[in-house]
Chains A and B, each alone.
Chain A
């Protein structure tokens, strides 16, 4: 199957660190994307992992373990504007056909 699972909601405090996990059950994914989506807006690209390991980009980092079917997005020094949904998406097949998880709604509070 091509299930992608992530927690539905998370809350965190401004200035803190939060880790959003994503697990997938498929043998056909060739990479994993993370997107941020504010309510009513289009998703915007955060990161892409095709190899195992950690990719760091400013306050955001993403990790992938292909053998475990596991990824996480790490957000540091949280800001109020980070309140959004975070979408995990696997690349299915040989082309950029993305299969999305349901998204994790993150609420950052003071």
Chain B
């Protein structure tokens, strides 16, 4: 079945460590996105990519990095420079282009910094 797979679902990290969250989709979507969700707040856009080998910063990109070497994959690295990384991270994908439709979300990865 087509969909988006995020891993790991839960992750614990010590301060000062980098961690990478995986996001894979088999929907043949060109566009992929990373959002962060904190309690009582909406989803905030970290990075997005409209096509392979290209990506743009979202509203809260500081302390994060991404790559888009393959259409199916859009991993997010949470670096030690991210001051408050404990959050719920959601990956999504969509058809590229203007107003082409909905985002399809993965199940999320919950990161806790100890």
Interface residues of A (CB under 8 A from B): 4, 8, 30-31, 33, 40-45, 48, 50, 87, 89, 91, 94-103
Contact = CB atoms under 8 A, between A and B. Distances in A.
Interface of B: 31, 33, 35, 40-45, 48, 50, 58, 88, 90, 94-108, 110
Contacts of A87: 42-43
Minimum-distance CB pairs A-B, first 6: A100-B42, A42-B105, A45-B102, A100-B43, A102-B42, A96-B94
B44 A45 contact: no
12 contacts: A30-B98, A42-B105, A50-B99, A89-B42, A91-B99, A96-B31, A97-B33, A97-B45, A98-B43, A100-B43, A100-B44, A102-B42
Contacts of B50: 95
Given A33-B102, A41-B108, A95 B42 contact: no
A95 B103 CA distance: 11
